[in-house]
Amino acid sequence: MGPMPRAKSNGIELEYETFGDETRTPLLLIGGLGTQMISWDEEFCQLLASRGFRVVRFDNRDAGLSTWIESNAPPYTLDDMAADAVGLLDALEIRSAHIVGASMGGFIAQLIVLNHPDRVLTLTSMISGPNGEDGVRPTPEGTALLLMPAPQTREERIDQNLTAKRLLLGPADPFDDAYERAKIARAVDRAYNPAGFMRQLQAIAAAPGRLKRLSAVRVPALVVHGDADILVPVDNGRRVAAAIPGARMLEIKGMGHDIPKRVWPEVIDAIAELAHQSTVKC
């Protein structure tokens, strides 16, 4: 990948990329624990852009090519990461956007709508949950994936991530070794920050539950979850959907902790329909 633009936000710098016409309504994609913006496939971003959005993807703090936090700095929170995302909107002169988050990105997306409600047109929370005492813990297999020690060599890093990806896919999605290996190698070569992964994980662990607060959400909301998710079990998504007034729950059979290609049309259609609800209400 060539150099990407960077924006100053909330005291740090965020690497980002945009897709689509800048005059279109913005849609912000927020990635999960330890993932980089390239975890949002270019094809997925282009498909969203083709539905009339200006799509923005970015590296969270402590991931990819955004600022890596010093080891002796005070711990940060998911609220800080939500403020990062809002700061990116400020830097891009975006008043409000459709907010789409996956996994940890879903936690952050929920906090954006709770902490900065005027910046959100719609909320889409995918393979995510309500955190803290309100959440359902990973299965033992999912917990083991979070606690794997950081490997030392490039090939070990790729192999470890391939193992994790294979376990996180649902039974309806066969594992494509060549595709996943190329994608993982690209991410490993772009940036590798296990210390940042642990700091993000600590932020997740410290986050309180949000179910009571989510009852105050007043924007159209969509919750997407697979029924075979071992990392964030599907009851997490069900609880979030039940807590947000009027939220739609899109539960996908055989999907794990991933948004595989086979569901992209269905998910993108649902996001576009949600955006239409926002336009109608305006």
Which residues are catalytically annotated? 103, 229, 257
Q: What angle is formed at CA 213 by the lines to CA 208 and CA 218, rounded to 5 degrees?
A: 145
Q: Judging by DSSP bridges, how do beta strands 221-226 and 120-126 pair with one another?
A: parallel
Any bridge partners for residue 222, and if so which?
Answer: 124, 248
Q: What length is written for the chain?
A: 282
How far apart are alpha carbons 100 and 97 in whole angstroms? 9
Q: Residues 6 or more apart from 81 whose CB is under 8 A from it? A: 60, 61, 108, 111, 200, 203
Give the largest CA-CA distance in the chain: 53
- The gap from C-alpha 192 to its chain's centroid, in whole angstroms, comes to 18
